[in-house]
Structure 1
């Protein structure tokens, strides 16, 4: 959800652009770190299950999979969704109009 911000601070447009550039660069760096952490966690699931999530969804969990395995499968889905969200947010920041940010 995007909400407009009304700030009681008067700065030149050049200063606001600079703040936006610095802020977007900082947030991009934070998001990249979160992406790397999330990818590392997902890699652990790939090792544990011996395949990608999409392949596991094709073949399914074994009929004798225990509760812990089912929980890990659900958690893996959560991390995959988190990764997609982070990548989308990062892409949005990286695609800011060049004329707008500097």
Structure 2
């Protein structure tokens, strides 16, 4: 969902009438379809409220490639953590005698 500030900026630029829909879209980083739907009234003037309580000391959230599974994630990778947990649970689970695999020696 677009930020409310972006929607209002699109609306302001449309009312001014100096820029084309394409130039507004390029300037604000939105699609031409969004600009057209705001201009025609098909899209209301709503959006998500943004809270800019960022400090320069905190690192920005950027997706990174996980070394374990290769997915683009916000670290730590929850999928890898879930897999590690599952392996630990299976390793620590006591084996019952009826569930033990019967190992036969290989014949060469």
Q: TM-score range by the shorter chain?
A: under 0.3
User: Rg bigger for which structure?
Assistant: 2
* TM-score for both structures, normalised by structure 1: 0.23
More helix by share: 1
